[in-house]
Amino acid sequence: MSLAEEIHEQPAVLSRLLQRQADTIREIARSIEEEEVHSVLLAARGTSDNAGLYAKYLWGAFNRLPVAMAAPSLFSCYKRLPAFKDTLIVAISQSGKSPDIVGVVEEGRRQHAPTLAITNAPDSPLARAADSVVDVCAGEETAVAATKTYTAQLMAVAMLSAALDEDEDRWRALERVPGFVSQTLALDEAIRQRAERYRFMDHCVVLGRGFNYATAFEWALKLKELAHVIAEPYSSADFQHGPVAMLERDFPVMAVAPAGAVFDDTLALLSRLTEEQRVELVVVSDRDEALGLAHTPLKIPPGLPEWLTPIVAIVVAQLFCYHVTRAKGLDTENPRGLRKVTLTR
C-alpha cells in the first residue's frame, strides 16, 4: 500500500480502533484507578514520541496526571535506573521491537509498576513485556513514513483519557473524529495545488502550542523525512524567547492554530510575524481570523473540541508534506536513509 493510500485509510482505521478497543481501554482505565497511579512515565521514539507529547498535555489537562518522558538511554546505556513509585509506565511504539523502549517496560515490571503498551503489533516484544496492551488496529503500514499509526496512537491516548474520566460526552466527541478526518481528506486536491508553491523550500519553522505542540513536532518530522526540509518545531510561546530572531522576509513559517485556549495568543504572534517580519505563512486552522493571515490557508472542519484537533490537523499536514515531496521530485515511499523499523539500544 502506498503512502497516499495509507493517509486516506485513516478514517477507517480510527473507526475500527473505536469499535474494537473501547472495552479493552475501559478495563485498562479501571485497572489504573485501582493502582492509585499518581504520575506517568512515557517511553517512545520518533513519531511515537510525538504521540507521547499529546498524551503529556491531554492526560495532564483532563486526568491530572503529570507525564514525564523517559530517557531510554538511562536504562540501556548508563544502567542508571530511576525508581518508580505510584507511576504508570506507558510505551508507545508502532512496531514494538525497539530494545531500549522494551527495556523501560521490563524495568517497570521488575519494580512492580503497572505497565501499558500502545502498539500496532500486539504480538511484539513490547506487548509481551507489558501488563496491558492497546492494539491501535492500523493494519500493516508499509510506507516508511508513519501516518495512520500516528493518528491511531493519538486516538488511543484520547480514548484512555475519556475512559479515566468516565465521561460519555467525551466518548461521543471521539466518535465524530473519523468523519472529520474524512472531510479533511476531501481537500487533497486543493492542498496539492497549494503545496506546489513550496517545491523549493529547504528550511522552515513549525509552530504549535498546547494540545497541538505535538502536531508541530510531527509536521516538522514529516517535512524532514519526506521532503528533506530543515524544519524546526517550536511552541509558539518558546519561539518568542529567542528563535524569532532568525526570521526575515519570506521565511517559511508553518503554524497550527485551531480554536481553543491558546488561539488568541497564537493569533497575536502570527499577526506580528506577518506585519513586521513579512514571513511566508502556512496556517492550519478552523478559524477565519488565522486563515486570513496566511499565504497558504489550510482549513480543517470546525466543530471539534480543541483536545481532538491534533488528530485532524496532522492529516492536513500529512497531505501537505506528501505533495511538497512530490513537487520536489522526491520518493514518497522510500525516504533517504530510513527504514520502516528502527532498532535503538
Could you list the active site residues? 340
Classify the C-alpha dihedral 325-215-175-144 as positive or negative: positive
Task: Give CA–CA dist 181/174, Å, rounded.
Answer: 12
Residue 317 gets which letter from DSSP?
H
- Three-state DSSP state, 132: strand
* Helix H or strand E encompassing 281: strand 280-285
CA-nearest of 166, 198, 231 to 322 is: 198
Phi, psi of 304 (to 5 degrees): -85, 145
Alpha carbon dihedral 162, 33, 19, 130, in 10-degree steps, equals 120
The answer to whether residues 223 and 229 touch, using CB atoms and an 8 Å cutoff, is: yes
* 299-318 residues labelled b (16+ CB within 10 A) or e (exposed): bbbeebebbbbbbbbbbbbb
The answer to whether residues 68 and 231 touch, using CB atoms and an 8 Å cutoff, is: no
* Helix H or strand E encompassing 56: helix 46-63
* Helix H or strand E encompassing 283: strand 280-285
- Encoded amino acid at 295, one letter: H
Compute and round to an integer the Cα radius of gyration of the chain: 19
The answer to whether residues 29 and 160 touch, using CB atoms and an 8 Å cutoff, is: yes
